[in-house]
Structure 1
Amino acid sequence: MKEILSTKNATIKEFKKLHKKKYREELQQYIIEGFHLIEEAVKAGAEIDWILFNQRGKTEWSDWLGQQPSELLIYVSDEVLVSLSELPTPQGMTAIVKMPDDEKKIDFSGGWLLLDNVQDPGNVGTMIRTADAAGLAGVILGEGSSDIYSTKVLRAMQGSNYHLPVIRKPLAEAIDRFKEAKVPVYGTELNPEAVSYRELSNSKDYALIMGNEGQGVATEFLEKADQNIYIPIKGAAESLNVAIAAGILMYHLENNN
């Protein structure tokens, strides 16, 4: 087991770079914070490069740490953990994880959530977590959507990225593939040609497109969809938050199979 007590350590400086997407992609690593996410990553077989912990981490999770390969462990000072954290109060443990290099495949069975330029990290993470909870087969992130390896998205997903495929792929290509496989594609929008989600016929396999927080789903994708749907609003609100709307639609589609 290694020990690093200075924030000026060269290794720590390298780890801090992983808060920027540019360096995550260059180094093919990302940071996760807190015991729960690290435990989920280990359970899922993610490739862990390093586990860093301070005295709090050692005290609270000593048994678990004792089960991990000693060559992966780094004991750090509180100051080092604070310097690596984007949380107001670090949770005693941080890990450096290798990005998976295997290209996950779309099998076109079950429900798939497609995100078109969804930029808010909380929304992206919440929708992936909800897709996991609702029992969807996977999530596809189109261009412009928030990076799933940012710490805000990772916190919002709460480990759901280890439970189902999360694939980054151009949506035009993905939608064409679903249509070729005879899987119905549903866009979401508010216009007279859309139908209430309650009117959809049951389908075990489907692709549901959710769009940008301000602009919605791009016109080119709405035109490709087999049917565009909406959620009726009874109150005075103009629209729903995209993550809330996605949750309503995913649970409806899964429970009506």
Structure 2
Amino acid sequence: MASEGHQVRSTAALLRVSESGYYAWCRRAPSGRVLWHARLTELILSIYRSSEAMYGSRRIHHELQERYGINVSRGTVELLMRQAGIRGRAGRTRWAAGQMLDSRTARRLWVTDARAHHTRTGTVYCAVVLDTNQRRLMGWSVDRTATQELVHRALDAALVRDAEELPPVRAQHTRPTAYAFTEHMQTLALAPVTARVPDRHAQASVDLFWRRIGRSLLPRQYWNTPESLQTQLMSLLEDFSA
């Protein structure tokens, strides 16, 4: 109220606070919580803008945890987004067979992604090759170590499957496939140095695929050993690629 031109003395008397208390509040430095929320809001706005205003609180909350290692509640993310006046777009894209009817079908696009799944006694790495235009799993590979060979096996499986499905005459006239490697691949140091990163549409298809895998896996508390998780993943991926 004082900033709007009202006298401090009369405003303090109206609100039943002391003038000295008001001036002390003005001189007080921002609290750690206020500074933390300001920094968090900057990160949220950055993620939101990079998604072209698509991501909501759930996806931004996931990005804060996975990309920045920030452990914050989803309620806090929702609060800060509301205070910043931003919100994600409603609706979800389904992972289903069928051609995407837009300009992106001009070329085939294969996106390679890799994820690390942690158990109590070790880690299992999984690389997949997805045809994001037709939303199909083309190839996959599962191993206990994150090496270039993990990705090579997934790509080899995708190429073999693609060659088997296309008649020889059609294969000779098929336009070249475009490849892209996600940020997860770069984080695990499995992507080429000059790798192309897919656009947000392709990345959304990859995320939807992993959510389906996550819903089909047994709960995390049952991942007692890397061997048991590896068996689960291989069985699921075999079903998805059938």
Higher relative contact order, structure no. (Cα contacts within 8 Å, ≥ 6 residues apart): 1
Higher strand residue share: 1
TM-score (norm 2): 0.26
Which protein shows a greater Rg? 2
